[in-house]
Amino acid sequence: MNISLNHANDLQGRLTVVVSEADYQEKVSAKLKDYRKKANIKGFRPGMVPPALVKKLYGQSALVDEINHLLGHAVGDYIKENKLNLVGEPLPAVEEADAIDWEKDTEFTFHYDLGFHGDFSVDLAKMKPVTSYEIKADKKEIEETIENLKKQFGDQIHPETVEDRDLVFGTFTQGDWVEKSAIPLHSIQDKSKKIFIGAKKDDTLKFAIDKVFVDVKSLALATGKKEEEVADLTGEVSYVVEDITRQVPASLTVEFFDKVLGPGKATDEKSFREQLATIVDENYKREANYLLRIDAEKAILDQVKIDLPDAFLKTWLVRINEGKFTPEQIDQDFDNVKKDIRWNLIKNEIAEKFEVKVEYAEVVEKAKDMVRQQFGGYLSADQPGIEEMIEKIAMGYLSDKSKSDNFMNLYNQAFADKVSQAIVDNIPNKTSKIDVEKFKAIAAAL
């Protein structure tokens, strides 16, 4: 097999692969012998089909399969061994491939168009400084935070009747199907909440299960099923209420102070407010850090120039989308596509330089955080079985074979977060002190 690369210019080239009979003949012959052993052809006993007939029936498909196998490995290995700076994927030259005579030819030539990105480097230490904001919270922010904390750390009570925003525990029944469930009332459509509101423990509610939830995702979470499975849940179900949980705002007591700050950190309202002011400042520090991440990414994109093969990329985008977008539509969004490509190249360069890695446990934790967010403030770590339920739902989401990109989506999120943190930790920045309102205005303008 002979492979050669001809550069049209710095950003485009054509890879040529010549496959000779010696490259494939042995394996094609072995395949045909195997076909002969297994072939079930009328008029011949198994294993006794004439070789010439086997070749006539299966020879071309065996040849094509073997050559495709050889090409896949040869092209991939060549790119890896020569460390080619590819963007997009190799594009087979379709017209030349269509001209091959598979019955007569014994030597085959294949061409692949390649696109390359220009050389670039990312030296964060030499970047122009970005602005890091320092925000000081005022009295209004402190009061708003206290109200939010009172809700967040409120007590969980078990009232006699259901009200809006409660979390209802119970059991679904429909024929042979029985499923324990936790239903947040915010996942129920407003017009259907009357079914639940006023219900008491041990009440049996009847409703059309496919009509009451706000969306498919909420129905899936409530029933413990995958989103693509809930389409089978239709018609009336019985739901027996077994428990009602409600969050009520906390009072400004030592018990509340301990929950927010930790045991013994504040003994009265004054000391609590003082320490809370520090916490609020830390919260704004995190928000400022998020803004710093965005500004740093923009600065890097502005300062790191990467040449890209525009003509190749446009052809590649049309080809891989298989007619979903016209060349004109590709043109309209092409600048954003190039920006995404450049950022991915930069991100991978930074990840390699700072040895960014994502462990499996980090992806699992991201999935569990996603589940917690779905349930809002209803979940408390001290509720029996809550963590087990969260982990079960999270692992089900990650292992869902019908949605194999679930894992990679969360992996990519975790990877992006770690790269962003590496950027923030290493790019020069200058501090600007501003008030809360000015910071909110800056953030809103993003």
Could you tell me the residue range of the domain that residue 396 belongs to? 124-148+269-444
Q: Is residue 336 domain-resident?
A: yes
The rounded distance, in Å, linking the Cα atoms of 370 and 410 is 10
The rounded distance, in Å, linking the Cα atoms of 67 and 25 is 10
Instruction: Look at phi and psi of residue 297 and say left if phi exceeds 0, alpha if psi is from -120 to 50, else beta.
Output: alpha
Give yes or no: residues 96 and 17 share one domain: yes
Give yes or no: residues 404 and 333 share one domain: yes
Q: Using the 8-state DSSP alphabet, how is residue 239 labeled? A: E
Please give the residue that has the higher pLDDT: either 58 or 245.
245
Give yes or no: residues 274 and 376 share one domain: yes
Give yes or no: residues 167 and 301 share one domain: no
Give yes or no: residues 102 and 180 share one domain: no
Q: Is residue 262 domain-resident?
A: no
Per-residue pLDDT for 205 more than 60?
yes
Angle (nearest 5°) at CA 30 between 27 and 36: 145
Per-residue pLDDT for 209 more than 70?
yes
Per-residue pLDDT for 387 more than 70?
yes
Give yes or no: residues 354 and 282 share one domain: yes
Q: Is residue 264 domain-resident?
A: no
Determine the pLDDT at residue 377.
52
Q: What is the CATH number of the domain that holds 168?
A: 3.10.50
What one-character-per-residue DSSP string does 30-70 give?
HHHHHHHHH---TTS-TT-S-HHHHHHHHHHHHHHHHHHHH
- pLDDT tens digit string along 55-93? 888 888 899 999 999 999 999 999 999 999 999 999 999
Residue pair 54/29 in contact (Cβ under 8 Å)? The answer is no
Question: Which two three-digit tokens encode residue 119?
Answer: 């050389």
Give yes or no: residues 94 and 191 share one domain: no
Give yes or no: residues 324 and 431 share one domain: yes
Q: Is residue 334 domain-resident?
A: yes
Output the average pLDDT for the chain. 90
Determine the pLDDT at residue 260.
86
Q: Write down which residue in 248, 278, 303 finishes a domain.
A: 248
- pLDDT tens digit string along 15-65? 999 999 999 999 999 988 888 877 777 778 777 778 888 788 888 889 999
Q: Is residue 274 domain-resident?
A: yes
pTM recorded for the entire structure = 0.62
Determine the pLDDT at residue 433.
87
Q: pLDDT band at 117, cuts 50/70/90?
A: very high
Residue for token digits 């936790």? 182
Which residue in 8, 95, 3, 68 sits closest to 312, CA to CA?
Answer: 8
Determine the pLDDT at residue 78.
95
Q: What is the CATH number of the domain that holds 407?
A: 1.10.3120
Q: Is residue 261 domain-resident?
A: no
Give yes or no: residues 137 and 180 share one domain: no
Q: What is the CATH number of the domain that holds 14?
A: 3.30.70.1050
Determine the pLDDT at residue 381.
56
Q: Which segment of 50-54, 123-127, 429-433 scores lowest on mean pLDDT?
A: 50-54
Give yes or no: residues 92 and 176 share one domain: no
When divided into structural domains, the chain yields a total of: 3
> For a pLDDT cut of 70, what percent of the chain falls above it?
98
> For a pLDDT cut of 90, what percent of the chain falls above it?
58
Per-residue pLDDT for 4 more than 60?
yes
Per-residue pLDDT for 188 more than 90?
yes
Give yes or no: residues 168 and 101 share one domain: no
Q: Write down which residue in 219, 248, 277 finishes a domain.
A: 248
Determine the pLDDT at residue 435.
82
Q: pLDDT band at 405, cuts 50/70/90?
A: confident
Give yes or no: residues 48 and 140 share one domain: no
Q: Is residue 294 domain-resident?
A: yes
- pLDDT tens digit string along 219-240? 999 998 888 888 889 999 999 9
Average pLDDT for 332-354 = 94
Q: Is residue 81 domain-resident?
A: yes
Average pLDDT for 364-391 = 76
Please give the residue that has the higher pLDDT: either 131 or 280.
131
Q: Write down which residue in 218, 248, 278 finishes a domain.
A: 248
